[in-house]
């Protein structure tokens, strides 16, 4: 693949952070999805705190209003829809809205969870539980969840490309 082709294919794996795919492209020893994910993960883990924080903050809130959905990447739209977040009851929507605001106020970045395979209730339960964490714990968890999201996106893409 050329650099442009690589970036077109993999530049969006990590939410609005093409620098991660660029770092992986510079390596010439990647032959598998596992190796690509490892290279991207390494780029994130070696990044400075400001780059990591920008990556975390690039992620959208969960269960946002339908009018705001067009602001999400197509991957985020699909992931949130797959978890049923666009089908929230009014009560669930209000709880997500409140928790999103409280979480960002407390931690300084959005709540991040890899929603694939989770229900709305699973996500709300994690949201409630993680509100009791420290900022350091949540930042570490956010990066772990981002790597998990990237893994899901890469494996879905690999399936599509076959």
Catalytic positions, please? 59
Q: CB 14: neighbour CB atoms within 10 A? A: 24
Find out whether 145 and 112 touch, Cβ atoms under 8 Å: yes
DSSP summary character for residue 2: -
Task: Please provide the DSSP assignment of 84-101 as one string.
Answer: TGGG--HHHHHHHHHHHH
Angle 101-78-154 (CA atoms, 0-180°, nearest 5)? Answer: 105
State the distance between the two ends of the chain, measured CA to CA, in whole angstroms.
Answer: 15
């Amino acid at each position: 693949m050329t650099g442009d082709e690589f970036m077109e294919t993999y530049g969006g794996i990590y939410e609005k952070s093409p620098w991660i795919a660029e770092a992986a492209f510079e390596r010439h020893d990647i032959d598998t999805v596992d190796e690509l994910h490892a290279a991207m993960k390494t780029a994130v883990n070696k990044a400075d705190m400001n780059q990591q924080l920008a990556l975390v903050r690039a992620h959208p809130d969960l269960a946002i209003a339908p009018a705001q959905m067009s602001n999400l990447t197509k991957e985020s739209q699909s992931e949130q829809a797959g978890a049923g977040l666009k089908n929230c009851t009014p009560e669930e929507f209000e709880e997500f809205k409140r928790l999103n605001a409280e979480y960002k106020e407390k931690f300084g970045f959005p709540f991040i969870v890899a929603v694939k395979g989770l229900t709305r209730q699973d996500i709300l339960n994690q949201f409630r539980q993680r509100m009791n964490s420290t900022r350091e714990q949540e930042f570490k968890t956010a990066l772990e969840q981002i790597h998990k999201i990237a893994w899901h996106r890469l494996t879905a893409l690999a399936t599509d490309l076959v």
